[in-house]
């Protein structure tokens, strides 16, 4: 009822009709439709990307969980010592420093004497 027909001439190009159309005369908001369509396509691309990330995370999650369980299981024996106050982070740091110093000392002795005993000590 409200629509108006408009005749538009065009040229045939690669099997398609190419012509200029004045969208301002249309009652259908084609320009707005195109903009919304582009936004929907952009959102669809983002959604697909996020879905791929979720799928990858779902694949990696069991591996990460197994790793955390492994580390937790390996730390359990030390938890007892920690709760009993038998060691702290400071004492572990001191132990690391003492072992480093011992390694340095053994290396110095080995370089001075270089005999089978110092070689064995260096390997230990």
Please give the C-alpha separations between residue 43 and each of 32, 33, 35, 36, 55, in angstroms, as whole numbers. Answer: 16, 15, 12, 10, 18
pLDDT tens for residues 51-77? 999 998 888 888 988 988 898 888 888
Residue ranges in the chain modelled with pLDDT below 50: 1
pLDDT in the model for residue 38: 92
- Helix/strand/coil percent split, the chain, to 5: 75, 5, 25
pLDDT in the model for residue 24: 65
pLDDT in the model for residue 43: 94
pLDDT in the model for residue 50: 93
What does pTM read for this prediction?
A: 0.38
CB-based contact 87:81 (threshold 8 Å): yes
pLDDT in the model for residue 47: 95
pLDDT in the model for residue 3: 60
């Amino acid at each position: 009822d409200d629509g108006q027909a408009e005749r538009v001439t065009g040229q045939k190009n690669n099997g398609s009709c190419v012509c200029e159309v004045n969208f301002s005369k249309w009652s259908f908001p084609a320009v707005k439709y195109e903009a919304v369509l582009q936004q929907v396509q952009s959102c669809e691309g983002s959604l697909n990307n996020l879905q791929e990330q979720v799928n990858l995370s779902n694949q990696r999650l069991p591996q990460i969980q197994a790793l955390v369980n492994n580390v937790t299981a390996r730390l359990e024996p030390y938890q007892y010592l920690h709760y009993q106050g038998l060691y702290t982070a400071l004492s572990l740091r001191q132990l690391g420093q003492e072992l480093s110093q011992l390694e340095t000392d053994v290396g110095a002795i080995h370089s001075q004497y270089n005999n089978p005993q110092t070689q064995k000590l260096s390997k230990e």
